[in-house]
A and B are shown apart, each in its own frame.
Chain A
């Protein structure tokens, strides 16, 4: 079963605009990660934010985490056509020493040149 729900399911913007994607999850987490997937290919790890962090930056990416609301957002600034991809949040939980990475349903981002 999927832990996370992402919103919106699809997003279409113009090059240069900012793109914001949201992720909500259900259980307590150890950390939350964002991945990008180009059409039908493997996933690429973008950024990891730990449960005791509230915000993290990496290049044009900004991730926030609100554990009280069990939600996270990914902001891509000054988007480029090459950012066109599906974006997934994934939560890491630890249970009796076993870790699990559970993916959300993903947001399809289309950046128009």
Chain B
């Protein structure tokens, strides 16, 4: 099976702009989660989608949003970018909604905000 893919891999944006990141999960996986990784804050959970519904959300401002399509592909959007949004954004898929929550990660999108 192909792994989790994320596009684009690298992105440079200007403060105030918005950005959309895309994630394609492993075939058959219905859960997609998003994480932000920065040197200062480490890995932080953004949100999880399962069958097109947001199941859980982390502690991020409303500028961060996401959605999931019927084919399980997911997008996350960040509006009004701030310098502090510069980070590696990781997407992960999981085969079930159960409590094992084993995650399969994509390579990430490196976002730089200038």
Contact = CB atoms under 8 A, between A and B. Distances in A.
Interface of A: 1-2, 30-31, 33, 35, 40-45, 48, 88, 90, 92, 94, 98-106
A101 B99 contact: no
Interface of B: 4, 33, 35, 42-45, 48, 55-56, 59, 88, 90, 92, 97, 99-108, 110
24 contacts: A1-B59, A30-B99, A31-B100, A31-B101, A33-B101, A40-B108, A40-B110, A41-B108, A42-B90, A42-B106, A42-B108, A43-B105, A45-B104, A48-B100, A48-B102, A90-B103, A92-B99, A92-B100, A94-B99, A99-B48, A101-B33, A101-B101, A101-B103, A102-B45
Q: Which 7 A/B pairs are nearest by Cβ-Cβ distance?
A: A42-B105, A103-B43, A43-B105, A98-B56, A42-B107, A30-B99, A92-B101
